[in-house]
Each structure stands twice: as C-alpha cells, then as structure tokens.
Amino acid sequence: MAWSRIAVFASGQGSNFAALVQAQREGRLGSGNIELLVSDKPEAPVAQRAEEAGIPSLLLRPKDFAGREQYEAAIVAELKRRDIGLVVLAGYMRLISPVLLEPYAGRIVNIHPSLLPAFAGKDAIGQALEYGVKVTGVTVHFVDGGMDTGPVIAQRSVEVQSEDTAESLAERIHQVEYALYPEVVAALADGKVTLNGRKAVIAD
Ligand code: GRF
C-alpha cells in the first residue's frame, strides 16, 4: 500500500477537495496522487467537482446500507481495490468506525476550522465567534474514534477581527485551509510525518 495513493472524503462543497486537486496539478502535492473521491452525499457539489476534474468517485448513501459498519465495509473494499494508502477527510461529516479506522490506522487525516482542542465538533467558526476569542485557526490532525480528538499534525492561526461575521471569518479560514492542507498531505504522501504518542513531527 503506497501512501501516495490518496482518497479524499467529502460531504459538501468540496472547496478543500478542489484546492488539493489544484495543488496536485501544480506539483505541490509531493508524491501524492488523488485516486478517488468518496462522498456520502451523491448530490453534493463535490461530486460535480470530481467529475470535472476527471477523478473517479464512490458515491454511497449510508441509508442504503443495513448500518454504518456495512456502509464502511463497502468503502474499505473499494479503497483496497484501488490500493489507497492515505485517506484525507475534507469536510466529511461523519464519524469513522473501527471498520475503516482499523485497516487505515494512522493513515486517516482531517482538517478542522479551529485551533483544536478548542471548538471541536460542528460549526467551529460559529463557536469561536460566540466565545469571543481573538485568535482561531485551522488544524490538520490524525483521525481516531472521537470527534476531532486525534493527534495534531499542523496548525495555523487566523486572527478574529471585531467586525467579523461568520462569513468573513470563514472566508479567511478557508484561504488558510487551502494552503495548509496540501502542504501536510504532501508531507504525508512523502513519508515525512512521524508520530510518537500524540506528538506528530513533520521532517524538513
Ligand atoms: C472546511 O472548513 C473544513 O475545515 C471542515 O469542513 C469544511 C469543508 O468545506 N472540516 P469544503 O467542503 O472543503 O468547502
């Protein structure tokens, strides 16, 4: 299994998916190659983006399966068939069960729009505004069985301005995501990330 063979999982707009595809086109994804989009929402805009980019997609509705395990087993079968080595969650709005976590232990990453462990879960940007923090940001982390609880790989801060709305702050956070995620995915694909306990290190 090569880490360079990547599946991106997304449920919505897919702007991070698009940023990763763009990075690959521009040679900024290291040895990473996006082989597959997986989405639990066949009607989501991200599916259209994959089609336009010529990237194969696996679009499965969880409700068409007997349960989460069966749904994930179908995904794992396709990941194995395509020899996928790295799973990149980009706005995938589901918790991952052991059916997927175990075969891909240490090879699933996520991006979250806050400086974890602050504001885990849904609407992290709204949570940060509501709390009144002056600095928030973006976290890329390994995925474990919890909600945004896995070891942090990289973080970048974004200042909150007094006039910020959820939209204006989200826009600046997204721009940071589009830069940071390809950098981290490239490092992962190139085998430059090591994990010791909860401490992840990216080699130069
Ligand atoms: C991003 O803000 C990401 O941090 C979060 O979900 C959002 C996905 O946006 N996990 P998009 O679908 O990539 O546009």
**Nearest of 103, 65, 68 to residue 86 by alpha carbon:** 103
Query: What is the tens place of the pLDDT at every residue in 69-100?
Result: 999 999 999 999 999 999 999 999 999 999 99
d(CA 24, CA 39): 20
* Residue 113 CB–ligand 1 contact under 6 Å: yes
Ligand 1, closest atom to CA 112?
4
d(CA 189, CA 195): 14
| Predicted pLDDT of residue 2 | 58
Query: What is the tens place of the pLDDT at every residue in 137-176?
Result: 999 999 999 999 999 999 999 999 999 999 999 999 999 9
pTM for the complete prediction?
0.97
Report which protein residue has its CA nearest ligand 1's atom 7: 91
- Using CB atoms within 10 Å of the CB of residue 203, give its burial: 0 to 12 exposed, 13 to 18 middle, 19+ buried: exposed
Ligand 1, closest atom to CA 10?
12
Query: What is the tens place of the pLDDT at every residue in 10-33?
Result: 999 999 999 999 999 999 999 999
- Copy the structure tokens of residue 37: 């989009």
Ligand 1, closest atom to CA 177?
4
Q: How confident is the model at residue 1 (pLDDT cuts 50, 70, 90)?
A: very low
Report which protein residue has its CA nearest ligand 1's atom 5: 91
* Residue 137 CB–ligand 1 contact under 6 Å: no
